[in-house]
Amino acid sequence: MLLSELLKDWPCTILQGSIRRTIDGITESSKRVKKDYVFVAKKGVVSDGTTFIEEAISNGAKTLVIDRDNIDLTSIPVEVTVVLIPDSSLFISYGSAKFSDNPAEELLIIGVTGTNGKTTVSHFIGQLLKELGHKTAVIGTTGLYIDGKLTETIQNSMTTIPAEQFHPILRRCMEQQVTHIVLEASSIGLSTNRLAHCPLTVGVFLNIGMDHYAEHGGRQRYIDAKKLLIPLADQLVINEDDETCRVIGEGLSEPPIYFSRRHINGKQQPKVLLPNLGHHNEMNARAAIGALMALGYSLRAIKPHLHALRLPTGRLEKYEEAGVEVYVDYAHTPDALQAVLEALSESTKRLITVFGCGGERDREKRPQMGAVAAHYSSHVILTSDNPRTEEPSQIIVDILSGMVGFATPVEVFIDRHQAIRYAVTQAQPGEIILIAGKGHEQIQQIENQKMHFCDMEEVKKSFSYRNAKK
């Protein structure tokens, strides 16, 4: 593609060089630059892309795109074109879409947002679309799935992929005859413009709870970020039982499709659709049905396919041995932990909960999760999630502050491996263990080190240890 073609419809000022040059790619990372690439120097949370210009040029960049007139042009070789645009993050989205020949415009795309349940609902929608004969890709935290099969893992397990990788993935999906895409729209993904050039046929609002307030600067900004989904979507599907979502729906110019505990799009639907998976997954199924109805399917056409719904990996994933039921689940917010504990406490069995909270994430979540765990569990084992650069014992102290006043016994094992092993070796037949927070994750991050760690593998290894000890 010619640089002039890429820039044709975008406001820009050419500070140096020619735009009549061929470009072979576009990236915001100096490390990913190859010969004849466009390097978009974006100011980020950690660093400023303009400090990597020299590296980008030595890796082959022939075009630099900047959004601040703060670089010394005399330091840039004359053969390198320098373009000034208003907003780097928006441009990286626009440029990546255009360089991939705007695949999003040729696909039917459904975007799902909310604090809890995005992955589950995206997979449910994907499963229903597949049943209805559409070749469908689901893109989100657990990877890229085409027709239910894991096809690509996503770097850093991101929920919403940065635009630079996202549009080429859409193009690859099209090359595999995919016609429908279901994607997760995280608040961070929306606020950093990762989906800015991704028109959606349907947008789904699931719920608004507590997560990522610290990154956004408070609850209202988090909600505002979620609301960026609205202008992207032709039609919206909204959880009427969630007050914040309902208020969002009331403010829309076009009436959305609502779902609730009682109805889906106005049709009374009181029956349980998914036995034994908890009220939250029942609501997730209703959201998925609402999305299909927004595409024009009737409830009657959808119902025969509901038997195909399966939870994604790491969501209430069950392992049973020696009469002990173990569930690995991705609950890492207060609402999620409550939802999953409510589901498990429907049985009268003793319930042992093993969990921690991630470092560098909302501190307010911690005491709330502690209180929820103490309320529903017979026994709580506190441990580390991904402490990142925080002191693990301080995270646990924060969780414990919410458990004051509960009689529930609590034990602490900073090492997650030891916590799981202890829970499994102590459990008696007839008891349930919930291991919450990391679900499908395959790594644990301590300081800046990422080590392989998988809760389900740890569960199985712990049973081998328990058996060997007998």
Ligand X SMILES: CC(=O)N[C@H]1[C@@H](OP(=O)(O)OP(=O)(O)OC[C@H]2O[C@@H](n3ccc(=O)[nH]c3=O)[C@H](O)[C@@H]2O)O[C@H](CO)[C@@H](O)[C@@H]1O[C@H](C)C(=O)N[C@@H](C)C(=O)N[C@H](CCC(=O)O)C(=O)O
Residue stretches of the annotated binding site: 30, 114-120, 159-160, 186, 194, 361, 385-388, 437, 441
Q: Closest distance between ligand API and the C-beta of residue 222, in Å?
A: 12
Minimum CB distance to ligand ATP smaller for 3 or for 248:
248
CB-nearest residue to ligand X: 44
Does residue number 445 form part of the binding site for ligand X (CB under 6 A)? Answer: no
Contact in structure between 3 and 64 (CB atoms under 8 Å): no
Backbone angles phi, psi at 161, to 5 degrees: -75, 140
Binding residues for ATP are 114-120
Piece of the chain touching ligand API by CB under 6 A; list 197-205, 394-402, 420-428, 434-442: 434-442
Per-residue mark of binding to ligand X, 133-162 (x: CB under 6 A):
-----------------------x-xxx-x
Q: Closest distance between ligand X and the C-beta of residue 177, in Å?
A: 27
Does residue number 386 form part of the binding site for ligand API (CB under 6 A)? Answer: yes
Does residue number 358 form part of the binding site for ligand API (CB under 6 A)? Answer: yes
**Using CB under 6 A, which residues numbered 21 to 50 contact ligand X?**
28-31, 42, 44-47, 49
CB-nearest residue to ligand API: 358
293: alpha, beta or left? (left if phi > 0; alpha if psi -120 to 50): alpha
Binding partner at 158 among ligand X, ligand ATP, ligand API, none, C-beta below 5 to 8 Å by kind: ligand X
Strands 143-146 and 136-140: antiparallel
Binding partner at 28 among ligand X, ligand API, ligand ATP, none, C-beta below 5 to 8 Å by kind: ligand X
- Amino acid sitting at position 169: I
Q: At what angle do helices 88-99 and 163-175 cross, to 10 degrees?
A: 20
Minimum CB distance to ligand ATP smaller for 324 or for 336:
336
Strands 351-355 and 410-412: unpaired
Q: How far apart are CA 92 and CA 196, in angstroms?
A: 10
* Contact residues: ligand ATP, CB under 6 A: 114, 116-120, 141, 159, 184, 186, 206-207, 280, 283-284, 315, 329-331, 335-336, 339-340, 439
Backbone angles phi, psi at 434, to 5 degrees: -105, 125
Binding residues for meso-2,6-diaminopimelate are 361, 385-388, 437, 441
Which of 62, 280, 332, 416 lies at the binding interface for ligand API (CB under 6 A)? 332
Backbone angles phi, psi at 262, to 5 degrees: -100, -30
Q: What is the DSSP letter of 83?
A: E
Q: Closest distance between ligand X and the C-beta of residue 82, in Å?
A: 16
Minimum CB distance to ligand X smaller for 81 or for 445:
445
CA dihedral (43, 48, 54, 59) in degrees, to 10, reads: -70
Binding partner at 335 among ligand API, ligand X, ligand ATP, none, C-beta below 5 to 8 Å by kind: ligand ATP
Q: How far apart are CA 289 and CA 282, in angstroms?
A: 11
Show contacts of 421-426: CB within 8 Å, 24+ apart: 421/458, 421/461, 421/462, 421/465, 422/381, 423/352, 423/354, 423/381, 423/462, 424/324, 424/326, 424/459, 424/462, 424/463, 424/465, 424/466, 425/462, 425/465, 425/466, 425/469, 426/352
CB-nearest residue to ligand ATP: 117
Beta bridge partners, 409, equal none
Minimum CB distance to ligand API smaller for 167 or for 332:
332
Binding partner at 358 among ligand API, ligand ATP, ligand X, none, C-beta below 5 to 8 Å by kind: ligand API
CA angle 311, 313, 315 (to 5 degrees): 60
Q: Closest distance between ligand X and the C-beta of residue 437, in Å?
A: 12
Piece of the chain touching ligand API by CB under 6 A; list 278-286, 306-314, 404-412, 437-445: 437-445
Minimum CB distance to ligand X smaller for 52 or for 463:
52
Binding partner at 361 among ligand ATP, ligand X, ligand API, none, C-beta below 5 to 8 Å by kind: ligand API
Show contacts of 450-458: CB within 8 Å, 24+ apart: 453/416, 453/417, 455/314, 455/328, 455/416, 455/420, 456/314, 456/317, 456/319, 456/328, 458/416, 458/417, 458/420, 458/421
Q: Closest distance between ligand API and the C-beta of residue 356, in Å?
A: 8
Does residue number 443 form part of the binding site for ligand X (CB under 6 A)? Answer: no
- Amino acid sitting at position 153: T
Q: Can you read off the two tokens belonging to residue 168? A: 């080429």
**Using CB under 6 A, which residues numbered 169 to 198 contact ligand X?**
186, 188-189, 192
Q: How far apart are CA 392 and CA 447, in angstroms?
A: 10
Give the number of residues in contact with ligand X, rule: CB under 6 A.
20
Give the three-state DSSP class for 138.
strand
Does residue number 165 form part of the binding site for ligand X (CB under 6 A)? Answer: no
Contact in structure between 277 and 312 (CB atoms under 8 Å): no
Does residue number 52 form part of the binding site for ligand X (CB under 6 A)? Answer: yes
Does residue number 159 form part of the binding site for ligand API (CB under 6 A)? Answer: yes
| Positions that interact with ligand API (CB under 6 A) | 159, 332, 358, 361, 385-386, 437-438, 441
| Positions that interact with ligand X (CB under 6 A) | 28-31, 42, 44-47, 49, 52, 156, 158-160, 162, 186, 188-189, 192
